[in-house]
Amino acid sequence: MAETEAIAALFKAGDCVRVREAYPIGHVRTPYYIRGKSGVIERLCGAYPNPEELAYARPGLPRQPLYRVRFRQTDVWQGYRGKGDDTVDIEIYQHWLQAQ
Amino acid sequence: MNTFRGVHDMGGLPAGEVVASEHDFALWEKRVDALMVLLSRKNLLTVDELRRNIESLGADAYDKMSYYERWIYAITQTLIQRGVVSIDELGRRIAEVQARDDGGN
Amino acid sequence: MSEHHHHDESVPHRHPLRADQDDTLTYWRAMEIAVRELLIDKEITTADEVRREVEAMDNRTPAHGGRVIARAWSDPDFRKLLLEDGNAACEAMGLERGLYKLVAVENTDKVHNVVVCTLCSCYPRFLLGLPPDWYKSRNYRSRVISDPRAVLGEFGTVVGDDAVVRVHDSTADMRYLVVPKRPSGTEGFSESKLAELVTRDAMIGVSFARQP
């Protein structure tokens, strides 16, 4: 059942990606602060039912590939107070990512 | 504002110093947590339904309610949405529970 | 559980920092009782099942995480397994495997990891128990992501400029365990002695492991 229905992964570790800049209502697991920002795929975590659908008691299938994406803090926050190579790693589902 | 930002989606917003607060959880709080775990295991609730209902609280309620108050609100909303519990029986049972309390405080 | 001392005037009243909601039937507490009773009436759960779940919760404490870290400090093969497949490592120690995928991230001289869930309160509960209030607070969730070095400073944790700070926002299906740096002067320590140095906060990444 759920195990077989997964969307193919489009990205691999090291790929540059950009988070889609979109602002729907509803249950979204892509934080506001990271939309429109660019980062690098750290790893593919697997494929999981889409939480945007699970939130409404629907099955969330086919499963969405989920990645850990690494962003440089200085690319995320204006005037970041830290080191230039500090990072933030965030789990982001594939449908929120586009190739950079 | 030409964007929408949920009340829960607070990463990067201005806020105060972090105070290392914690407390021993009260039995009722643990029971709320246990209900979430059990209902999720019985496929009567997904964690994302719980979150969606918490996120739909207004900003004022989100900040004023305690953590497990938000949870019992969201668990109950989910049970109503799924037709597991009706609003009528919920209202009657809450009144019954309150009447049972001897008002000793 | 429900001993009341309202009529004992010899006991001075203390002012708790936080209202004791076990003693007052608030609206939300009445709702918890009502919902639990309705679920029991409908035979969806039983009082016993709820009680057992609370007990299981009480048994999940940061001591579990501490054992895992102490093993990783002592056994290079286990450390490798933990970093590659956190759930398998927990299972190998006879602990719960966990419902979510466990990602262990290691602190070194060059990298300091710290974990947050900006959207809610995701936390490796099977290894650390329930998250503390501050982890779920607006101040922590808002600021540790954009100004981590300042927030670490508020915990008394100073990360030098020679190390990168790596914040992990736990937004989805992973849960994170920070493997703290092994304290100096602990050569030859047994695993159980090492485990005593591993604090919950060190496994979240807001502090270092204790010095012996």
pLDDT, one tens digit per residue, over A16-44 is: 999 999 999 999 999 999 999 999 999 99
Q: Which of C2, C90, C120, C207 is catalytic?
A: C120
Prior bond of A62 cis (ω within 30°): yes
- Whose tokens are 């039983």? That residue is C46
Percent of chain B with pLDDT over 70: 95
- Asked if pLDDT for residue A1 goes beyond 60, the answer is no
Q: Which residue intervals of chain C bear CATH 3.90.330.10?
A: 61-204
* Structural domains counted in chain A: 1
Q: Is residue A7 part of a domain?
A: no
Does C171 reach chain A within 8 Å, measured CB to CB?
A: yes
What average pLDDT does range B8-35 have in this prediction? Answer: 96
State the pLDDT at residue C10: 38
pLDDT of residue B65: 96
User: Mind telling me how many Å the CA of B59 is from chain A's nearest CA?
Assistant: 15
At residue C6, the pLDDT reads: 40
Q: What is the value of ipTM here, to two decimals?
A: 0.96
> DSSP letters along A23-63, please?
--SS---S-GGGTT-EEEEEEEEEEE--HHHHTTTS---SB
pLDDT tens digits, residue range A65-77? 999 999 999 999 9
pLDDT more than 90, % of chain B: 93
Select from A25, A54, A77 the Cβ nearest to the Cβ of B12. A77
Q: Per-residue pLDDT for C19 more than 80? A: no
Partners of residue B4 in chain A, C-beta under 8 Å? 23-25
d(CA A54, CA C64): 31
pLDDT at C21 over 90: no
Choose among C101, C165, C168: nearest Cβ to A82. Answer: C165
B4:A24 CB<8 A: yes
Q: Which of A25, A51, A54 sits opposite B4 (nearest CB)?
A: A25
Give percent of chain A with pLDDT exceeding 70: 96
Q: Which residues of A touch C170 (CB under 8 A)?
A: 91
Q: Is residue C117 annotated as a catalytic residue, yes or no?
A: yes
Residue A57: partners with Cβ closer than 8 Å, 6 or more residues away: B46, B49, B81, B82
* A84 in contact with chain B, both atoms CB, cutoff 8 A: no
Q: Is the pLDDT of residue B56 over 50?
A: yes
Residue A55: is its pLDDT beyond 60? yes
Per-residue pLDDT tens digits for C67-86: 999 999 999 999 999 999 99
> Which CATH architecture best describes the domain C61-204?
Alpha-Beta Complex (3.90)
pLDDT interval class at C22 (50, 70, 90):
low
Expressed as residue numbers, the domain containing A45 is 16-99
Is A40 within a domain?
A: yes
Residue A3, pLDDT score: 55
Question: Residue A87 pairs with which residues in a beta bridge?
Answer: A72, C166
Residue A92 has pLDDT above 80, yes or no: yes
**Cα distance between residue C112 and residue C78, in whole Å:** 21
B contact residues 58-87, partner A, Cβ 8 Å cutoff: 81-82
CA atoms within 13 A on the CB side of C77: 2
Residue A38 within any structural domain of the chain: yes
Q: Domains plus CATH for chain B?
A: 27-100 (1.10.472.20)
Domain assignment present for residue A48? The answer is yes
C142 is catalytic: no
The neighbour count for residue C205, using CB atoms within 10 Å, is 29
From C2, C74, C90, C121, the catalytic residue: C121
Whole-number mean pLDDT of chain B?
Answer: 94
Strands A64-72 and A38-48: antiparallel
Give the nearest chain B residue to A49 (CA atoms).
B48
Distance of alpha carbon C24 from alpha carbon C6, whole angstroms: 12
Note if C90 is an active site residue. Answer: no
In this complex, which chains have at least 3 CB pairs below 8 Å with chain A? B, C
